[in-house]
Amino acid sequence: MKRLGRILDTFVIVLLILLFGLLILAAVYSVKGEVFPILVVKSGSMEPVLYRGDVIIIERVSPEEIRADPVNGDVIVFYKPGTSILIVHRAIREVDAGFITKGDANTGSDYFSPVPPEYIVGRWTGVKIPYWTGLGYLSLFLRGEIYPPYGRIVLVILIIVNVFLIVKDVFSRVKKSGRREKTVES
């Protein structure tokens, strides 16, 4: 049973290190003013290819590399013109002013098309972590994008509980080291 506990502890530590690394990487991208290449799909407009809550990986591309086609066009990530909102839709046609885009589940092209090339952030690589793993939904929940304000409340509670546990652990270690010193002196 102790071995299983150690394996679980190791797994949690590795997971926390990976999450911390991703947070640092995300901060670096943010400071540089760039979009982090791992995104969560926020709507069902790309179903059945991408579902709300899917975590996707994108790559940078030049506009010349984007294939525009109603069926097999690239799924691109871009800023909705005039906003800071990221959209994940298919490039269905290229025009002089940019790309006409459309969500696969939508009946018509996006009303804000064409998307100028400078608004394009990247292209979906085809790699995704499915929504049913819960990772994307957890991210949307904690950012308050689904079930607001509960996600932020849960996040604050988790932070408070973690701070409490860390402080408790520190006091416990200080107490133990104090006992050891008294034992050594005796």
Looking at 45, 109, 113, 139, which residue is catalytic?
45
45 flagged as catalytic: yes
User: What residues contact 146, with CB distance under 8 A and at least 6 apart?
Assistant: 137, 140
169 flagged as catalytic: no
Looking at 89, 109, 113, 139, which residue is catalytic?
89
Looking at 54, 74, 109, 110, which residue is catalytic?
110
Q: List C-alpha distances in Å: 72 to 42, 68, 132, 159, 171.
A: 22, 8, 25, 44, 60
- What distance in Å separates the CA atoms of residue 40 and residue 131, rounded to the nearest whole number? 9
74 flagged as catalytic: no
User: What residues contact 129, with CB distance under 8 A and at least 6 apart?
Assistant: 54, 55, 135, 136
Q: Do 41 and 106 touch, CB atoms closer than 8 A?
A: no
Active site residues: 45, 89, 110
